[in-house]
Amino acid sequence: MTSRIQKAKAAIMEYAIRSSKRKEEEGKTGFTGMLFDFDKTIVETDKFYEECWRRVFTELGLSAEWRKMVYKFDGSLTNSVKAMIGRIIEGVNIKGDDISVITEEISKKIFNPVWLGQKEVEMYGAKLEGDPEVRAARVLADYKESIGKRMITEEPERAKELAPLVDGIQDFVKMIPPGVLVGIASSGRVESTISPFIKLYNLDAVFKDRLFGEESMREAEEQISGFVYKPDMGFFVHAIYLLGRSGGRIIPFDKGLYIADNGKTDYPVGIAGLDRSMSVLLVNTDPARLQTSGERWVASTGSFASLLNGIRSDNQKGEISGDNVTIAQFLQTFSMN
């Protein structure tokens, strides 16, 4: 696993060097590429995923105990096993980064077949590959994805009811200047969830085919033999590379902005590393929780509406908080011609 991570980091640095040579060519003071997370940043998906799992259990006749495991976490699969630690198992308090202290007994409970998907298998080792519960998890995860896609296409109004757009997102994306490349970078699946929802809400004109999810990250692993799942930096670097390639250019790190929700998580989204050269804008977030995450963070005081107020106001203080340099760069983006 270590060698794969090292290869990924090497590829990241190579891209950083190449992209730095293109900075002057951009000729802009604002961001030239914006990547959005999907779940809870564009669409409120919690209730939708809960309904997908309910249908999985009903159709397959799975036990109430399995239902209980899912509903304990609002019905949605986590982006990483780390997000589950200390939450699923009552009375166990383990910090998200302290994986090494997990005992064999606790691990078995955390790596429950309801939760463990392809991403987690890749992250936590080949030793799980032979586990029948892991194979069962993949089948369940795939089945849940197919049910979700079917609901979006065959029951669009029900899908909208369960998964409304995040408040203010439509108005916000309309404000993004046409010269800025806009895409989605998520650990979710494009084919079964992200793309159908983007089309359902008529946002395909904004995001076009710039949707980078689990499939894109799997492709990246094959290319660099690396480790590219959230919250690893490789995930975001590969996504910004794909975004630039879609527009026939390279987007330097300091011209890229990642927009995500961090309102209910206790760990940073994971992109403030690597020279702190790529910025993150967090919505639905209490700025006090960011602590010392990195000087290039930007935080909304609560919503996309507050970001819009900051853009439209001569004095953005109170609307957007964080690193002043990044805030200025964010506001300059929306003054582009």
Per-residue pLDDT of the chain (337 residues; tens, 9 = 90+): 445 545 555 655 565 555 544 544 445 578 889 999 999 899 999 889 888 877 877 776 665 555 554 444 443 333 333 333 333 333 334 343 333 333 333 334 434 433 444 554 455 444 444 555 445 555 667 778 899 999 999 999 999 999 999 999 999 999 899 889 999 998 888 999 999 999 999 999 999 999 998 877 766 655 554 445 565 666 777 788 888 888 888 887 778 888 887 644 444 444 444 445 567 777 766 556 555 444 455 655 668 888 888 787 755 555 777 667 777 888 888 875 4
Residue 279 CA to residue 145 CA, distance in Å, equals 31
What CATH number corresponds to the domain at position 16? 3.40.50.1000
Residues 178 and 269 in one domain: yes
Query: For 56, how many CA atoms within 13 A lie in the half-sphere containing its CB?
Result: 26
Please list the residues that pair with 111 across neighbouring strands.
Answer: none
**What are the residues whose beta carbons fall under 8 Å from the beta carbon of 4, sequence distance 6 or more?**
225, 226, 227
Range of 152's domain?
46-161
| Cβ burial 267-297 (10 Å sphere, 16+ → b, else e) | ebbbbbbbebbbbbbbbbbebeebeebbebb
Per the structure, how many domains does the chain have? 2
Judgement on whether residues 98 and 236 belong to the same structural domain of the protein: no
Phi and psi at residue 89, to the nearest 5°: -95, 110
Indicate if 196 and 222 belong to the same structural domain.
yes
Nearest 5°: the CA angle 140, 40, 93 is 70
**Do residue 21 and residue 70 come from a single domain?**
no
Residues 181 and 146 in one domain: no
Helix (H, G, I), strand (E, B) or coil at 258: strand
In a shared domain, residues 155 and 237: no
Same domain? 283 vs 187: yes
Prediction pTM value:
0.73
Q: Which residue, 40, 23, 29, 37, is CA-closest to 244?
A: 23
Do 228 and 119 sit in the same domain of this protein?
A: no
Contacts of 265 (CB under 8 A, 6+ apart): 83
Torsion of CA 213, 216, 218, 223, to 10 degrees: -150
How far is CA 325 from its chain centroid?
24
